[in-house]
Amino acid sequence: MIPGIDRDSRPWWEALSRHELVHQRCDDCGRWRWPPRAMCGECGSFAWSWQPVTGDGVVVSHIRTHHSFLPGIEAPYSTVFVALAEQDDVVLPGFWRGDSEPAIGQAVRAVFVDQEGGESLLGWR
Amino acid sequence: MRDRAAIVGVGYTPFTKDSGVSTLALALQAISAACADAGLTVADLDGVSTHRVGDSVQAAVVAQALGMHDPRFVSDQFGGGSMSHTTVAQAAMAVATGVAETVVCWRAINSRSEFRMGGTGRPPPDVVEFQYQVPYGYATPPQQFAVMARAYLERFGLGREALGQVAVRQRQSASTNERAVMRTPFTMDDYLGARWIVEPLCLLDCCLETDGAVALVVTSAERARDLPHVPALVSGAVWGGGHTLFSNHRGDLTTTAAADSSRRLWSMAGVGPDDVDVACLYDAFTPLVLVQLEDYGFCGKGEAAGFYADTSMPINPHGGHLSEGYVHGLNHVAAAVGALRAGAEVALSTGQPGYVAGSTSAVVLKADR
Ligand SMILES: [Zn+2]
């Protein structure tokens, strides 16, 4: 169960559950937008489309949580923050699915992590 | 609005792990104490200003409880520590423009016993970005600031001692502050041996969660001169925003919104970092102190660890959120006012610098002697 899905974000989540990583892109200035919203903050345009991204990115930070803050997720676990290859100010969090601990600057690719309710989340490796 | 309004009264409740009373009761206690400190009564108040994140009593309810029948100014902002200093900024604006004469600002929280920021037993605040974070087990402030800490330490090739020096020194400062929740000093070895919370942050990098309230009375600079304490003039007050971890505006993870807003702050106040006698920097987590020393212009990017080690400027002399208690920024303003009354001329006090909440706020105060 993903809390707080809204009218702007629902298509992003639905695509993710189809194992498609898409992002909004401004039809006028070409800027990638994150998180989803109705207007381009760069040029003011309301024209945009969902476009696929490669799923390639670079780790910009990573943390290891040793305290179980949330039910259902057992500590310790690592979380990574990845800047997309398409535009480096689109930073996505995700589960770490690499073989060794992540490192800042490491090139990674997205994987889809299926959840019990039918949704998918992002992992990186 | 430079120097048009001043902080003339400061009120505290005790800082505890369980106040046993409502946030309304805490607010009323701190406000009454602040009025008494200012040589005023609650009947002199005609405006109220607070901030909260669904974790405290509404401003209008407090105004009513104070017996204000027709408050001239009511500001009730959504936000946590990032918005803390806007309570003072807006009160000063209201006074400077004549909308109100005497406004009380406060923050009242039971953040240990009722509403922990880590989210024990309550839904997360209504923040759009949370949906992209919570499913990954990424939802709490220590995790958010661990992201910054990792990027900062790696980018500038620093060890954990860079953060540890802040934790050690602030506890030392708190050891003589009878209000402080934590007063027992510890060493760098103690710091390095403390348990992890979220790597690279350990227990001693994290602020306390506290029950308590702080209130500040703001009135005109003219009226302030007739009151008992040295007025703390509001010389500069600033809002900033736009940079969150997932905002699509962020250039790097080691710079905050304060890097932009601080320029306006110094310009408005007519002073600069070199003029500051005491700095109360928002310290929910140790890396924030270092990053703000850079973003407020005390030193260059990446230089804060060395600056902190060498400077004689008091930084969080009350012990800060790490050791005095966590009243979300307003105990920093109160400490700054205290330092001015005790002889300092210029103080900087800051809110959370906009790393996660998309906004920040800060004030520069000057003693009017
Ligand atoms: Zn555009």
Residue A77 CB-density burial (10 A; 0-12 exposed, 13-18 middle, 19+ buried): middle
Do residue B128 and residue A62 have CB atoms under 8 angstroms apart? no
pTM: 0.95
- H or E segment and range at residue A11: helix A10-17
Instruction: Please indicate whether, in this complex, the C-beta atoms of A95 and B136 are within 8 angstroms of each other.
Output: yes
Q: Does pLDDT of B121 surpass 60?
A: no
Task: Supply B310's token pair.
Answer: 């060498």
Taking CA atoms, what residue in A is nearest to B249?
A89
In this predicted structure, what is the pLDDT of residue B125? Answer: 60
Do B221 and B231 contact (CB within 8 A), yes or no? yes
Task: Out of B118, B119, B147, name the one closest to residue A81 (CB).
Answer: B147
Ligand 1 center from residue B12 Cα (angstroms): 49
Condensed to tens digits (0 to 9), the pLDDT of residues B5-27 reads: 999 999 999 999 999 999 999 99
B249–A41 CB contact, under 8 Å: yes
B255 at interface of A, judged by CB pairs closer than 8 A: no
The reply to whether B308 belongs to the active site is no
- Report CA B361 to chain centroid distance, whole Å: 9
Asked if B135 lies within 8 A of A81 by C-beta distance, the reply is no
Range of the domain at A15: 10-124
Q: Report the distance separating Cα A48 and Cα A71, nearest Å.
A: 37
Q: Is the pLDDT of residue B292 over 90?
A: yes
Residue A5 domain flag: no
Q: Which two tokens stand for residue B182?
A: 């934590």
- Identify the burial level of B193 via C-beta atoms within 10 angstroms of its C-beta, where 0-12 means exposed, 13-18 middle and 19 or more buried: exposed
Residue B179 has pLDDT above 60, yes or no: yes
Q: Please check whether residue A95 lies inside any domain of the structure.
A: yes
B134 min Cα distance to partner chain A (Å): 8
Q: What is the pLDDT of residues A10-26, one digit of tens each?
A: 999 999 999 999 999 99
B194 in A contact zone (CB under 8 Å): no
Number of folded domains in chain A?
1
Say how many Å lie between the CA of residue A90 and the centre of ligand 1.
15
- Looking at A49-53, B158-162, B252-256, B320-324, which range is the least confident one? B252-256
Residue B90 Cα, gap to closest chain A Cα (Å)? 27
A2 falls within a domain: no
Whole-angstrom Cα distance, residue A65 to residue A75?
Answer: 6
- Residue B357 CA to ligand 1 center (angstroms) comes to 24
What confidence score (pLDDT) does residue A98 get?
96
Return the number of other C-beta atoms located less than 10 Å from residue B101's C-beta: 17
**3-state secondary structure at position A61:** strand
Distance CA A63, CA B201 (A): 9
Active site residue B138: no
- Nearest of B168, B55, B59, B145 to residue B104 by alpha carbon: B59
Q: B34-43, B51-60, B158-167, B198-207 — which is least confidently predicted? A: B51-60
Please tell me the class of the B5-114+208-367 domain: alpha beta
Q: Is residue A82 part of a domain?
A: yes
Token pair of B66, please? 């104070």
Q: Is the pLDDT of residue A60 over 70?
A: yes
User: Using 50, 70 and 90 to split pLDDT, how confident is the model at B356?
Assistant: confident
Q: Does the residue A3 lie in any domain?
A: no
- Of B39-48, B140-149, B212-221, the poorest mean pLDDT is in B140-149
- Chain B residues in contact with A104 (beta carbon < 8 A): 150-151, 154
Interface test with A, best of B127, B138, B195 (most A CBs within 10 A): B138
Is A1 contained in some domain? no
Residues of B in contact with A77 (CB under 8 A): 137
CB B60 within 8 A of CB B76: yes
pLDDT at residue B251, rounded to an integer: 65
Say how many Å lie between the CA of residue B130 and the centre of ligand 1.
25
pLDDT of residue B39: 98
Is B153 in the A-facing interface, judged by CB distances under 8 Å? no
**Are the Cβ atoms of B196 and A66 closer than 8 angstroms?**
yes
- In angstroms, the CA B194 to CA B182 distance is 15
- For A71, B72, B143, B155, B285, the CA distances from B203, given in Å and listed in that order, are 21, 44, 12, 23, 10
pLDDT of residue B120 exceeding 70, the answer is no
Residue of B nearest to A75 (CA): B137
